[in-house]
């Protein structure tokens, strides 16, 4: 077994030992805990409230019980006597216009739809943020392993250069690995800082993490596989949802709610009815019945109904404009992420398929030359350090590409879809 394979095996075993000592937090477990964030729970409560109100929409108002006394005498022989007055017990029912009740039903249905879309979006946002944080912690653990491997190689180089210096070598050769070690220590300190920050941010979404709980486990399929191609912007077939993505559903729902409010404002111009029935007795003690029908008169619409209709129409136009802006931003962000993912994939493919094999070949040649006594140990250590540095660059590119694919996945996530 050559030195390169031995070093790789050592690094791999060290990574497994580190992971084995810690509590594994898989992405599925993190996403399951993300469903209990205050934002998601708040949206769920809003949806439950809107669903309850929708069941009562469009109902007739409660009837009114009336008691009336007519011809109640304040002077004369019948002064202050009820039996000498007309007494009536009645029941009145207000009947709003059918157009108003239909508009109220549509308005409450739109409100319920809007709260549902807001809850879906909150759930999606929680999953997106948790996935991005988990991925960064996952790749950070791998980066830490490579940095420690670089530190080990640096330690070997320090020993070799010190030995050469003792044999009369150049003093500058001994200073170079010391300076490189300072850079490595800075990188390790920054990594420790980043891990603490990421754990704090992740805890904000899924609750407190155990001290030894670390992100580990398989990557999701939507990270390993290539992202789906950008869908065309052609008009969808009739009857198909024009905006199936969860990102666009809340603003689409606000359009529906604004339309319902506009219809409700126009329905206010319709007259309402009322019916009242009563039974009683007159001043002679004779039984009598009463029936009344009332009709509201929406007079002066230019000063009363028309301003409310105009305001509702303006809110509808504002909701449509907001949705158009959000859809344009969605398209721009999708194209930017696709371009970024494609560039990162090309760079990563070139590094892993061309650069790393060449560096591995150079390390193998350096090992052979060192074993044959034709090359100093410093050349072999330098070859291994350059190979590790290239592996670190490849890991950074893989981390950036995973983040781009995650953002693209959740950006194009459709309503009702489940994450793999």
The domain limits of the chain are: 3-59+99-228+243-269+306-411
The per-residue pLDDT for range 152-201, each reduced to its tens digit, is 988 888 888 777 666 665 656 667 788 888 889 999 999 999 999 999 99
Is 385 within 8 Å of 376 (Cβ atoms)?
no
Cα separation, 138 vs 318, in Å, equals 43
Is the domain spanning 3-59+99-228+243-269+306-411 CATH 1.10.3720.10? The answer is no
Backbone angles phi, psi at 214, to 5 degrees: -135, 150
Strands 273-281 and 287-295: antiparallel
Instruction: Extract the tokens encoding 190.
Output: 């920054």
pLDDT given for residue 28 in this prediction: 92
25-34 tens-digit pLDDT: 999 999 999 8
**DSSP per residue, 237-290:** PTTS-S--BTTTHHHHHHHHHHHHHHHHHHHTTSPPEEEEEEEEE-TTS-EEEE
Q: How far apart are CA 174 and CA 154, in angstroms?
A: 11
pLDDT of residue 374: 83
Distance CA 123, CA 138 (A): 22
The mean-pLDDT minimum among 9-13, 178-182, 314-318 falls in 9-13
Separation between Cα atoms, residue 200 and residue 192, nearest integer Å = 13
Cα 275 to Cα 277: distance, rounded to the nearest angstrom: 7
pLDDT tens digits, 284-303:
778 888 898 988 888 877 77
Per-residue model confidence as pLDDT tens digits over 208-229: 999 888 898 899 998 887 666 6
Among 53-62, 77-86, 105-114, 387-396, the range scoring the smallest mean pLDDT is 77-86
Q: How many residues does the chain have?
A: 420
More confident residue, 346 or 298: 346
Q: Is 66 helix (H, G, I), strand (E, B) or coil?
A: strand
Is the model more confident about 375 or about 262?
262
86 pairs with which residues across the strands?
Answer: 70
pTM for the predicted model, two decimal places: 0.78
Over residues 94-111, mean pLDDT? 91
């Amino acid at each position: 077994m050559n030195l390169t394979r031995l070093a790789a095996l050592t690094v791999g075993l060290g990574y497994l030992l580190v992971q084995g000592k810690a509590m594994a937090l898989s992405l599925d477990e993190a996403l399951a805990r993300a469903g209990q964030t205050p934002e998601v729970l708040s949206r769920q409560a809003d949806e439950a409230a809107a669903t309850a109100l929708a069941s009562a929409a469009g109902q007739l108002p409660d009837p009114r019980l009336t008691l009336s006394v007519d011809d109640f005498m304040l002077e004369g022989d019948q002064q202050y006597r009820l039996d000498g007055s007309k007494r009536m017990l009645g029941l009145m029912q207000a009947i709003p216009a059918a157009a108003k009740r239909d508009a109220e039903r549509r308005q409450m249905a739109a409100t319920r739809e809007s709260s549902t879309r807001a809850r879906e979006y909150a759930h999606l946002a929680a999953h997106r943020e948790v996935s991005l944080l988990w991925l960064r912690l996952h790749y950070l653990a791998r980066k830490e392993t490579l940095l420690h491997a670089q530190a080990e190689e640096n330690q070997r180089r320090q020993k070799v250069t010190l030995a050469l210096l003792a044999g009369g070598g150049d003093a500058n050769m001994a200073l170079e690995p010391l300076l490189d070690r300072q850079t490595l220590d800075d990188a390790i300190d920054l990594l420790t800082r980043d891990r603490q920050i990421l754990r704090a941010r992740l805890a904000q979404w899924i609750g407190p993490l155990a001290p030894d709980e670390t992100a580990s486990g398989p990557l999701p399929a939507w990270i390993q596989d290539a992202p789906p191609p950008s869908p065309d912007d052609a008009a969808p077939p009739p009857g198909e949802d024009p905006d199936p993505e969860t990102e666009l559903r809340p603003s689409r729902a606000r359009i529906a709610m604004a339309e319902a409010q506009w219809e409700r404002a126009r329905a206010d111009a319709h007259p309402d009815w009322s019916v009242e029935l009563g039974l009683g007795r007159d001043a002679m003690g004779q039984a009598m019945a009463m029936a009344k029908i009332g009709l509201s008169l929406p007079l002066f619409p230019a000063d009363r109904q028309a301003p409310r209709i105009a305001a509702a129409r303006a809110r509808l136009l504002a909701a449509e404009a907001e949705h158009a802006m959000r859809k344009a931003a969605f398209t721009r962000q999708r194209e930017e992420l696709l371009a970024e993912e494609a560039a990162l994939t090309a760079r990563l493919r070139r590094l892993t398929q061309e650069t790393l094999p060449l560096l591995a070949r150079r390390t193998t040649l350096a090992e052979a030359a060192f074993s044959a006594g034709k090359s100093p140990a410093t050349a072999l250590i330098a070859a291994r350090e350059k190979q590790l540095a290239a592996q670190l660059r490849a890991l950074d590119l893989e981390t950036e590409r995973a983040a781009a694919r995650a953002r693209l996945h959740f950006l194009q996530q459709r309503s009702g879809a489940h994450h793999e």
